[in-house]
Structure 1
Amino acid sequence: MKVLLLVFALVAAVSAQTEPWCRCAAFVTYEHSEIMVFEAPEVTIDSCVDDAKQCKRACATELNTLSNNGDLWFMQENGLTVGQDICSYLAGHFFFWMRNHRVYGYYEVCGGAWEYAGVESQQMLCCDGGKHEHCIAKEE
């Protein structure tokens, strides 16, 4: 009984120390994996239990605002397209080539599983040696 009380006390102490937070990121999907290609600043939420919808909405708004609703050719204030930022990020992590992949927005509440935020790139992402390029569809 004492062990059970100790476990509950430990869980309560850890839960009390956790500040609610929400992460927003963009991923490229492969058949068996996901690659994070961008992470937005953390979003403040009120509760880890009750605010998944608040996190999802805030992330969708943030990602859509940063990318002009998923436009990979949107020119940012830094003079680079959204796609070029992603290709540069990927090249910095030794992914130099990317062909015909959509970029999807996801959110994570307080360290839980990543969930789809309803955000998708307008175009496919293609990177050639770290340079953002227009994708050319394969002829069949």
Structure 2
Amino acid sequence: MKFALVSLLALCSVAYVRSDEPAVCRCALFVSSTHNEYMVYLLDPVPIDSCESHDQCKNRCVKEVNEDTSNLDLWAMMGDDTVGQAFCHELSLHLFLWIHNSYIHGYYQVCGGPWEYTGIDSQQPLCCSMGQQKHCVM
């Protein structure tokens, strides 16, 4: 009984603390491998109305990803490099030197919850060799 009471109090305190935190939306792009998803791009978190505002977060992420990456066109320019080259460089920092015919997928996260699929994917597959973007050959 004592353990159950302590557990209940701990849960209540976590719920109380969480209710004081601002609602935050995070957006990111991931590439899939056979067994994992790897983050290649993380946008700055943005405030949302509440932790129930999934559609608001999803819509904001789709808009910002499309603006930052020219609608996920991997051959469009993003600063001094192409979108795909920026992703290849990021992956090479984590020792993923070869990526072959892999699409990039958009995800959003509400208030630290699970990552949820936005429904957007890159226009082309990504191919990287030693951190350099290459044209994919099927």
Normalised by the length of structure 2, the TM-score is 0.90
Q: Over aligned residue pairs, what C-alpha RMSD do you find?
A: 1.7
Pairing 1:44–2:51 present: no
Figure out how many residues of one structure are paired with residues of the other and give that number.
Answer: 135
**Structure 2: how far apart are the matches of 1:12 and 1:91?**
39
- Note the alpha carbon deviations across 1:61-87, whole angstroms, 9 max, x for none: 1111111111000112x2100000000
Normalised by the length of structure 1, the TM-score is 0.89
**Structure 1: how far apart are the matches of 2:100 and 2:88?**
11
**Structure 2: how far apart are the matches of 1:11 and 1:113?**
18
Pairing 1:63–2:50 present: no
Task: Give the C-alpha shift of residue 12 in structure 1.
Answer: 3.8
**Structure 2: how far apart are the matches of 1:72 and 1:51?**
30
Q: Contact 1:43 / 1:59 at 8 angstroms: preserved in 2?
A: no
**Structure 1: how far apart are the matches of 2:135 and 2:23?**
40
Unmatched 5+ stretches in structure 1: none
Q: Which residue of 2 aligns with 1:82?
A: 83
Q: Contact 1:63 / 1:119 at 8 angstroms: preserved in 2?
A: no
Q: Which residue of 1 aligns with 2:56?
A: 54
Of residues 9, 13, 17, the one that matches 1:6 is: 9
